[in-house]
Amino acid sequence: MLNIILSVPASDIDSLFNLSSFLDLATPSQLPVTQFLFNSGPHGSSPIAPWDLSRAGEAEVQVQNYKSVKILELPYFETNVFEVVDLPPQFPDVDIIPLKGESKRIKILLNESVTRNSYLPISIEEEDDARFEEIRIGQGRLPGEALVFGSDDSIVSFQVYRTDIAPTTYKDFAGQRKYTLQTVTPSGRSITTASTLDNIEPNVIYYYCFRTIDKNGFISVPSPILKVQMVDDNGRVYPIILPYDLPSTETRTAEKSFRRYLEIDTSLDSKKITGVDAAAESAGNPLQPPGQGISLGGTVWADDVTFKVRVISKDTGRKIDLNLNFNVEGISNPNLQDN
């Protein structure tokens, strides 16, 4: 507790405490000696106004200090925008079983996968991009980053896509969904497997891929593509089931045929000269090698870069390995006089 004596001019007493109406009803001798309690914040009650005129211009003030706990909202850390959602499901495990003596039907068995992996999203239908974008935001991933897929729901369904035209991308399966198989029995029990009989034509090649959908509507990436054919050779029926790889868009090749001579050189981009001042008025002394800082672009000229070239004879199969390292060395122009 803290006592403070405040000095107030006598002429300001009435205006400070507004005692005129009170003094009209009481004489100075009837006024008790009192203290005014000034409060800070919401503590305590309002002070009472009686005043001792014998101590005109003075006041005793009782100050009570209380701890006042403040809750401040301050930034702690920041993350990418995300929402708390379940993981999207994994694509299912698939087993295609031929039926004995039948060339026009196959059985497809699907089972929920319990693994967890990261994949780049692969869309089939147009609306898939919006779904994968929602998943990306939910996981706080940046555009172009892989998403985490893992089956953590007990209620899922499976999508079966089929086409008889060799696909070049997964987009070729758009609009070719054959079945959507549920994993809830008529009694309401949830299971993790589903199966169906698919009608096909004998000796026709079909391409299949499969997806999983969880109870939130999130989709998996499509499964690897299977190439399926039921061969009917005059009543001898047998299946051909193989994985199918999409054609690569990579146009480069690591092999090159030649007959007699082989020239190994760098690309034109790697031969571009760097370090030359474009604003310079002279290219330097032609009788001297290039100065410091002038070099060729590209990483092939680095000291720690080595290329291996293997030459294989088409006749004998014998191999020769060449370990190559490209270096830059400045020389004087040999076509000039005195060089």
DSSP for 72-136, please give it.
Answer: --------------PPPPPPPEEEEEEPTT-SSEEEEEEE----EEEE----SSTTHHHHHHHHH
**What architecture does CATH give domain 93-244?**
Sandwich (2.60)
pLDDT score for 31:
44
pLDDT score for 95:
93
Laid out side by side, the sheet with 93-98 consists of: 93-98, 105-111, 193-199
User: Domain ranges in the chain?
Assistant: 2-63, 93-244, 259-339
For residue 8, give the nearest of 61, 60, 57 by alpha carbon. 57
Q: What is the CA radius of gyration of the chain?
A: 44
Q: Which residue ranges in the chain fall short of pLDDT 50? A: 1-8, 10, 12-40, 43-45
Q: Under DSSP, is residue 275 helix (H, G, I), strand (E, B) or coil?
A: coil
pLDDT score for 86:
82
